Amino acid sequence: MTVALCPGSFDPPTNGHVDIVERSAVVFDRVVVAVVANPSKEPLFTADERVRLLAASLTHLGNVEVAAFEGLLVDFAESRGVDVIVKGLRAVSDFDYELQMAQMNRTLRGVETLFMPTNPEWSYLSSSLVREVARLGGRIDELVPPPVAEALKERLK
């Protein structure tokens, strides 16, 4: 059985994140979505909230679980018996940092990372842009899953 790990800040989860998890769930037997508890910037949603929002957005997938983690991603990956980390790539601009992280994680623990090209429908989408648009009163309903749209409106009203 192959287990994939889809890690991220997910502040908030977007349709782009959901697309990567959905496609990973087709390629691999099981997918663990790993929410970093303490991202570099103060998050809009707590780790528990981000886990709940993701879980509510992924109920249609039977082989996916969502969990928060603290510390090194490779430690969490090892504790969950993960075979491969999957990261979405939106554009060349994502590549430098993602390559660095992939090589660091492989150096630390030998874990491989596979890059999945983002669906072009969502290639312009990022959590930070969604936060900004929502904050300024723009429409985000087509950019994030319904539970996330609802939570954003509630948080920013």
SS3 call for 5:
strand
16 sits near ligand PNS (criterion: CB under 6 A): no
The catalytic position among 57, 87, 127, 131 is 127
The catalytic position among 50, 87, 90, 131 is 90
CB 50 within 8 Å of CB 43 = yes
CA trace torsion 55, 56, 58, 59 (10° rounding)? 110
Among 4, 36, 58, 125, binds ligand PNS (CB under 6 A): 36
How near is the Cβ of 14 to ligand PNS at its closest, in Å? 10
Active-site annotation holds for 17: yes
The catalytic position among 40, 41, 60, 157 is 41
Active-site annotation holds for 90: yes
Beta bridge partners of 89: 117
Supply the angle between the helices 146-156 and 47-57 in degrees, to the nearest 10: 150
CA trace torsion 102, 50, 17, 60 (10° rounding)? 120
Q: Which of residues 80-119 bind ligand PNS (CB under 6 A)?
A: 101, 104-105
Residue 9 or 24 having the CB closest to ligand PNS: 9
Site residues, ligand PNS (CB under 6 A): 7-9, 36, 72-73, 101, 104-105
